[in-house]
Structure 1
Amino acid sequence: MTRITVDSKTIRKRMIDKDIKTLTELSQLSGVSKPKIHQYLSGKTPLATTFIRLCDFLELNPDELILFNDVHVDGSDTEGTDGSSKLNKQ
């Protein structure tokens, strides 16, 4: 089974590049709710149109942020050599 998550490191780096210090500030500037941003960064929610809005605001390509991790029956993740496999590396 494959779990789809977001490359949160890239999003946090872009926040630093844009001098955005908190998720609250990112939420206010991007128009995406703070709980939804937190869910994306922690891998707890499916991606939706608000994810695209967040990517547009941060000037990031959504395809480059989507990660695929294999999940074992016991619930543990198996990561690629770089910690993940990105959509555009298939």
Structure 2
Amino acid sequence: MGVDPCPDRRSGFAAEVKEARTYEKLEEGLAAGCDLAVVASPNAFHLEQALACARAGLHLFIEKPLAVSAAGVKELADEVESRKLTVLMGSNWKF
């Protein structure tokens, strides 16, 4: 599943990943169901999107940073710990 507000990026993703479902809004994708989420949006959106995914019960891989503030990281940590979810943070560099 791919979520992106840009129609061109959604169609490009769908062309690369043949079985992929794509959605304009995160809420639509979450409602459709999935097993985990990768948050790879601009940094300012990481916390909001990660919290929404965690509240939907999804394990997470979040591109660094987890959030743009220490308070945001704490909020996310509290949320995922209370739900016993796994969160990984990293940076994917294709060479």
TM score, norm. by length of structure 1? 0.29
TM score, norm. by length of structure 2? 0.28
